Structure 1
């Protein structure tokens, strides 16, 4: 397994809002046969030979700018907490440098959204010294997700706690339930299944719509087969239901999909029983 930092994608305009993908890393981290162990070999091979399904997996956070609000959605891998090694051997996250190169200072961030509590989505919630990285921000998290952390069944729970507990102790963690409006153009929608409190962020402005989808999708083949959930999903059937609902809504509006683990974004269109992702102009 090897991770690298690819060139950063172009920002995406959604009306007067701008979404900046902030890629932490990319690489063939999990082979498809481990992500989709229940798919028959012949079907997996067919899907992997379709156009656009052989891309590496990315780890991406997103900044939403505009309306005098700076919002981050997911904070990627993080560093070596208290001097320990980072989450992937041999890889050092420089995501904070990427954030600075985008012109975003930590103390200028107003809102941090954690779509869910997996370690590759919350890593830079805190510094290596276990202080909140964004001291002036409200950190938003689904209440069901926080409760799930308390059960001890969450993957990499100790590392996740290092990224969440200091934020809670600083009074910056805000738990939400149901649909939550951040401002007039950005709201958070429940999309459970991958984890109990998984969220997606919807941006609407000037007749355009985009969804930052967290881990609703792990691999491009799930656009062709939205009924197929990955081995990382805690409730595969519910995850597939959420995926169908969000993708159908995006297709109705020719909306833009941005997902943490896909290397490209684009508009969603129906394609047979599934969907296709078309490049933005």
Structure 2
């Protein structure tokens, strides 16, 4: 896109939670009348959503940027089986196949601090968690760091596993002096800027790309399924502040439609990214932009 090269790395693309549990506000008939959602986004035989666990690598202005780092490998994630507890994956191997050395990554973007966006922030080095990318700045939303980290002394709004995720995937980045906390907006280079987009988590963010006439928005978990484009009021069950999440989702969709931004959510399977257009007071799907991914 313009002067920025995009690389898509897919660790896995599998059935996930039942649609009624993961996106409880979406009426069953919405899934049923959109048969095209199968097989990349929905499994009609089981009623489960289908998602991709993926990372984006951007080569921009002579720098290498990794956007979200998946769930990690062989991690202790009590209560999160079979999706994240002791699940094996190999993001470093996918990076190597894409010609990216860990030492050459300049920036790591965590769009937010959920389990499936920070796992490969670190690697186990002889029993000690160390940064996977030793020369990178890790760009972490300050509001999420305050919520999931030790500043949230009461633990309000946290599950027990959230502390474990922070301790093995975020705290080591702080100890290594590689964490950069930001709020509001943060410019990476002339093509890339981070912007706060709260609701899914307190510090949820999007990454905007503008190069030449090309535009894209890496939307993190503002959307988990294409149904949320034409049902933007419908949140996932993991949204911390549902009202705020829905308002943020609509704002991001409005801008994507009005400015011709390619919408790149974190977990869309299939082609992975698409254009969005207005349809009356709502939105509809435009053209899909297929990527040739590096897959696990």
Instruction: State TM-score, norm by structure 2.
Output: 0.84
Which residue pairs with 2:170 in the alignment? 164
Q: How does 1:214-253 map to 2 (within 5 A)?
A: 214-253=220-259
Report if the CA contact (8 A) 2:219-2:263 is conserved: yes
Match of 2:13 in 1: 26
- Report the aligned-residue RMSD: 2.0
Matches within 5 A, 1:184-199: 184-199=190-205
Residue of structure 1 in register with 2:267 after alignment: 261
After superposition, give the CA deviation of every residue in 1:187-242 in whole Å (9 maximum; x if it has no partner). 00111000000011000000111011110101111011011111110001111111
d(CA) in 2 for partners of 1:199 and 1:21? 19
Deviation at 1:36, TM superposition (A): 2.3
Relative to total residues, which structure has the larger strand share, 1 or 2?
2
User: Structure 2 regions of 5+ residues with no counterpart?
Assistant: 42-49, 291-296
Output aligned runs, 1:78-227, within 5 Å.
78-81=72-75, 88=84, 91-129=87-125, 130-150=129-149, 151=152, 152=155, 153-155=157-159, 156-157=161-162, 158-227=164-233
> Alpha-carbon deviations, 1:64-122, whole Å to 9, x = none?
1131010011000111259x999635741122111111111100000001011101000
Larger RCO (CA within 8 A; separation ≥ 6)? 2
Distance 1:36 1:141 in 2: 26
Give the Å deviation of 1:255: 1.4
Q: Report what 1:37 is aligned to.
A: 24
Q: Provide structure 1 residue ranges, at least 5 long, that are not aligned to the other structure.
A: 1-13
Q: Across the two proteins, how many residue pairs are aligned to each other?
A: 264
Residue in 2 aligned with 1:63? 57
| SS at structure 2 position matched to 1:58 | strand
Q: CA deviation at 1:279?
A: 1.4
The alpha-carbon distance between structure 1 residues 32 and 80, as it changes in their structure 2 partners (threshold 3 A), is: same
Instruction: State which of 252, 275, 279 in structure 2 corresponds to 1:271.
Output: 279
Q: SS in structure 1 opposite 2:124?
A: coil
Scaled by the length of structure 1, the TM-score of the pair is: 0.88
Counterpart in 1 of 2:45?
Answer: none
Is the 2:72–2:120 contact (alpha carbons within 8 Å) kept by the matching residues of 1?
Answer: yes
